[in-house]
């Protein structure tokens, strides 16, 4: 059993991950900001933690994380609020979370990032270009830390029902993937502590999630 602190716990992937972890005997500790988000998370079997990532410094966030075994960072501005909010959540928020994990003595850190080919061939806005730049620099900040990190770069996220099958690898063709399957992949990675210091690209595919993650742990 692991205690998993989820930053972005009230988001689409975070909520799904909380449900999966509860069914697997883990304790999900999703960070939430709005009062109305708490009970729905409890209904999923989670133990919600109140806090606003953009208002916490590393010491305060470390205090909230204390006692957790794993941190999952799946927070993101989602293109809302312009460059300022993206910089605050996806950029500075990630750096604060990395520092907090180190202060709290938590070694394992999973980051949901962005697929590098996202938006290629399209007329991209300055906001999206900034989003991709910030995501890459967040990857760099985590990879340069002393944590046992895993960076997951999913393709275009959809709300379709998950199939339980993915394509996961160090470098794969771009594609879509249901959020449900991203959450299931994160849950499987949490159960594989031998899988660390690796960047995983992830789309829908034909291989069962457990098998796909198992292959990566062996390689």
Active site residues: 131
Q: At what angle do helices 126-143 and 94-104 cross, to 10 degrees?
A: 20
* 24: CB partners within 8 A, 6+ apart: 187, 191
Using an 8 Å Cβ cutoff, are 135 and 173 in contact? no
**In 70-109, which positions are buried (b, 16+ CB within 10 angstroms) versus exposed (e)?**
bbbbbbbbeeeeebebbbbbbbbbbebbbbbbbebebbbb
Using an 8 Å Cβ cutoff, are 117 and 157 in contact? no
User: What DSSP state is assigned to residue 191?
Assistant: T
């Amino acid at each position: 059993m692991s205690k998993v602190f989820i930053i972005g716990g009230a988001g689409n992937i975070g909520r799904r991950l909380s449900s999966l972890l509860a069914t697997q005997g883990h304790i999900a500790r999703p960070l939430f900001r709005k009062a109305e988000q708490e009970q729905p998370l409890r209904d999923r079997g989670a133990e919600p933690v109140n806090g606003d990532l953009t208002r916490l410094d590393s010491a305060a966030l470390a205090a909230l994380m204390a006692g957790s075994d794993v941190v999952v960072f799946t927070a993101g501005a989602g293109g809302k609020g312009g460059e300022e909010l993206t910089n605050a959540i996806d950029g500075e928020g990630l750096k604060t979370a990395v520092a907090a994990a180190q202060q709290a003595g938590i070694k394992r850190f999973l980051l949901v990032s962005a697929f590098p080919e996202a938006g290629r061939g399209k007329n991209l806005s300055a906001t999206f270009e900034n989003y991709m730049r910030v995501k890459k620099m967040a990857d760099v900040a985590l990879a340069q830390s002393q944590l046992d990190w895993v960076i997951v770069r999913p393709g275009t996220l959809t709300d379709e029902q998950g199939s339980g099958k993915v394509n996961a690898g160090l470098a794969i063709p771009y594609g879509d993937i249901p959020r449900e399957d991203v959450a299931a992949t994160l849950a499987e990675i949490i159960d594989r502590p031998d899988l660390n210091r690796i960047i995983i690209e992830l789309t829908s595919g034909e291989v069962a999630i457990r098998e796909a993650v198992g292959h990566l742990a062996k390689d």
